[in-house]
């Protein structure tokens, strides 16, 4: 009994050892591959038109601001935005404005959707792209770049003007 068990274990171990390099190489190659195979297939730009993109000017001591714009979806499918990026701020994020019992607040959300053939308006007191942790003071009138990312990996570059409200 003991002998056969030992044999099994040894065989099992040998099989496992033989598998390990395969598993290891699979895991190191498979993860980036699945992540990147999506990107080349989605090189077309998002069918979205941007109008009136602005970033609210803030005094140099204030490190958070927000970006506003109107996004028009020219496709027949809703487009879910899942992220925002910019070199301007440490933590760009998608936010909604909440109201409860007369109190206004903001809440980070995982996505904002532009309805099929419709518009999503990002505005003060509504949905917006929050730019937390500004890395430098913004100048009124300057143009800054934001990148919005959709759920399928496609991105949209947005040029926004820094404006005083």
Residue numbers at the binding site for Cu ion (CB under 5 A): 95, 106, 130
Quote the least distance from Cβ 19 to Cu ion, whole Å. 49
Q: Could you give the C-alpha distances from 65 to 140, 145, 158, in angstroms and in order?
A: 13, 14, 16
Q: Which is nearer to Cu ion, 84 or 154 (CB)?
A: 84
Quote the least distance from Cβ 140 to Cu ion, whole Å. 20
Quote the least distance from Cβ 112 to Cu ion, whole Å. 12
Q: Which is nearer to Cu ion, 130 or 138 (CB)?
A: 130
Contacting residues for 26 by C-beta, under 8 A, at least 6 apart: none
Complete DSSP assignment for 94-116: EEEEEEETTEEEEEE-S-EEEPT
Q: Which is nearer to Cu ion, 46 or 92 (CB)?
A: 92
Q: Three-state SS for 25?
A: helix
């Amino acid at each position: 009994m003991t002998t056969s068990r030992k044999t099994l274990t040894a065989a099992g171990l040998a099989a496992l050892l033989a598998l390990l390099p395969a598993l290891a190489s699979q895991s190191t190659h498979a993860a980036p591959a699945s992540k990147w195979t999506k990107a080349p297939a989605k090189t077309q730009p998002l069918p979205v038109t941007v109008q009136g993109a602005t970033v609210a000017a803030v005094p140099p001591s204030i490190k958070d601001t927000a970006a506003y714009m109107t996004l028009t979806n020219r496709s027949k499918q809703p487009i879910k935005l899942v992220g925002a990026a910019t070199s301007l701020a440490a933590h760009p994020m998608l936010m909604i404005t909440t109201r409860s019992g007369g109190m206004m607040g903001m809440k980070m959300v995982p996505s904002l959707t532009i309805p099929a053939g419709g518009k999503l308006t990002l505005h003060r007191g509504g949905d917006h792209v929050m730019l937390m942790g500004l890395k430098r003071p913004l100048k009124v009138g300057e143009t800054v770049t934001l990148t919005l990312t959709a759920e399928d990996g496609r991105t949209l570059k947005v040029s926004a003007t820094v404006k005083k409200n």
